[in-house]
């Protein structure tokens, strides 16, 4: 069924049906409007959203691209985006990339060609490694301005990227520095760091904060105490077992996210070590389960809901292009719970 069928069934012009479907300043008499509505219901007519979008040059649809929806950090970001979008009359299309470059390319291409009014891309960008060495191609490397400019698609990023778009960030360097200094203040001098993928800007910044804290407190930085993970629990478990079994003997561990901290806690328990009596542990993100573990996890609280809400608000407000040079930085907080204490030797 199309709009002409509705017009014929209601005995009105196509223009009248259009005015009923898209209210304008040109009024339609109540009895005429009722005939049109009844014809629409009787025929089961559904407006062509794509055609309407082409006419109005807007779809009221935004895309949200996340790297791993199974990570408990992201649902709160998604909720923040969705709440802000819904309040403004927009629908959100959620795309999960599993940190796969080709999958992200396909989603971005689909969103752009479907005329999404804007896209929020969550997850820090990818670079060439913490020391500038060549690294794997990261998903954020596909965010080429040439893809979006012909369609006028607006972009807002969540996390640090080397890209010319407005972004919402946290101070990952400062937050990791504070988390590490919490351990040094308790007397720890052998502090390990379990990283995510080292090509991630987020991981590079948290690793830089960890190293800065050690330097400030006169603690030697040992490369053997830095282990790469993938932000998931098994990698935190494996990295912690390796640290202990290789004889590195850390008395404290900073994990680049809570999921790897959970894996680390399990590994320490399996090795017969107690938290915090034998090894202290700090996570990052403060996902909901962190406070319900026993011992409850000390971690850096990231305002994930506010990050999503702010990113969507920036997208809807059509942020000034110069905002790309002035990222919106939200505060974090070190939440001290039960997984940290002085080392055994103190």
CATH node for 60-170+304-330: 3.40.50.2300
Q: Which strands, in side-by-side order, build the sheet including 280-285?
A: 226-228, 191-195, 252-255, 280-285, 298-301, 333-335
The pLDDT value given to residue 54: 47
Name the segment(s) of the chain with CATH classification 3.40.50.2300.
60-170+304-330, 172-302
How many whole angstroms separate alpha carbon 337 and alpha carbon 169? Answer: 25
The pLDDT value given to residue 149: 66
The pLDDT value given to residue 48: 60
User: Which of 48-52, 241-245, 336-340 shows the lowest mean pLDDT across its residues?
Assistant: 48-52
pLDDT by residue (tens digit) across 68-99? 999 999 999 999 999 999 999 999 999 999 88
In this prediction, residues 31-52 reach a mean pLDDT of 76
How many whole angstroms separate alpha carbon 122 and alpha carbon 139? Answer: 11
pLDDT by residue (tens digit) across 119-170? 999 987 776 443 333 333 344 445 666 666 666 788 999 988 878 889 999 9
Name the segment(s) of the chain with CATH classification 1.10.260.40.
3-47
Kindly report whether the peptide bond that precedes residue 276 is cis, defined as omega within 30 degrees of 0.
yes
Q: What is the dihedral of CA 239, 244, 246, 247, to 10 degrees?
A: 150
pLDDT by residue (tens digit) across 209-259? 999 999 999 999 999 999 999 999 999 999 999 999 999 889 999 999 999
**What fold, for 3-47?**
434 Repressor (Amino-terminal Domain) (1.10.260)
CATH node for 172-302: 3.40.50.2300
The pLDDT value given to residue 124: 75
pTM: 0.80
In 3D, which of 57, 14, 346, 54 has the Cα closest to residue 187? 346
Assign 189 a pLDDT band (cuts: 50, 70, 90): very high
pLDDT by residue (tens digit) across 265-302? 999 999 999 999 999 999 999 999 999 999 999 999 99
- Measured between alpha carbons, how far is residue 336 from residues 73, 126, 182, 230, 341 in Å? 19, 30, 9, 25, 11
Q: What percent of the chain has pLDDT over 70?
A: 85
Measured at the CA of 177, the angle between CA 173 and CA 183, to 5 degrees, comes to 155
The pLDDT value given to residue 6: 82
1 vs 344, higher pLDDT: 344
13 vs 185, higher pLDDT: 185
């Amino acid at each position: 069924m199309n709009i002409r069928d509705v017009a014929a069934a209601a005995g009105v012009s196509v223009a009248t049906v259009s005015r009923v479907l898209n209210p304008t300043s040109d009024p339609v008499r109540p009895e005429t409007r009722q005939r049109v509505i009844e014809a629409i219901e009787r025929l089961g007519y559904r407006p062509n959203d794509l055609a309407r979008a082409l006419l109005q040059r807007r779809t009221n649809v935004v895309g949200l691209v996340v790297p791993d929806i199974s990570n408990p950090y992201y649902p709160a970001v998604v909720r923040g985006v969705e709440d802000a979008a819904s309040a403004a009359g927009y629908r959100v299309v959620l795309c999960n990339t599993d940190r796969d470059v080709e999958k992200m390319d396909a989603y971005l291409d689909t969103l752009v060609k479907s005329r999404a009014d804007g896209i929020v891309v969550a997850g820090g960008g990818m670079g060439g490694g913490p020391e500038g060495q060549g690294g794997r191609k990261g998903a954020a490397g596909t965010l080429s301005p040439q893809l979006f400019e012909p369609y006028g698609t607006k972009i807002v990023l969540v996390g640090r990227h080397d890209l010319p778009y407005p972004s919402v960030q946290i101070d990952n360097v400062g937050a990791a520095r504070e988390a590490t200094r919490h351990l040094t203040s308790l007397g720890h001098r052998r502090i390990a760091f379990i990283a995510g993928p080292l090509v991630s800007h987020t991981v590079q910044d948290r690793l830089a904060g960890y190293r800065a804290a050690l330097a400030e407190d006169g603690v030697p930085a040992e490369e053997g105490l830095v282990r790469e993970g993938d932000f998931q629990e098994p990698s935190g478990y494996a990295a912690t077992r390796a640290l202990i079994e290789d004889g590195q003997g850390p008395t404290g561990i900073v994990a680049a996210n809570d999921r790897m901290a959970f894996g680390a806690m399990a590994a320490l328990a399996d090795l017969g070590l107690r938290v915090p009596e034998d090894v202290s542990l700090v996570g990052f993100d403060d996902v909901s389960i962190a406070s319900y573990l026993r011992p409850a996890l000390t971690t850096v609280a990231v305002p994930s809901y506010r990050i999503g809400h702010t990113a969507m608000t920036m997208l809807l407000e059509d942020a000034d292009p110069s905002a790309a040079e002035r990222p919106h930085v939200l505060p974090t907080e070190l939440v001290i719970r039960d997984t940290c204490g002085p080392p055994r030797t103190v």
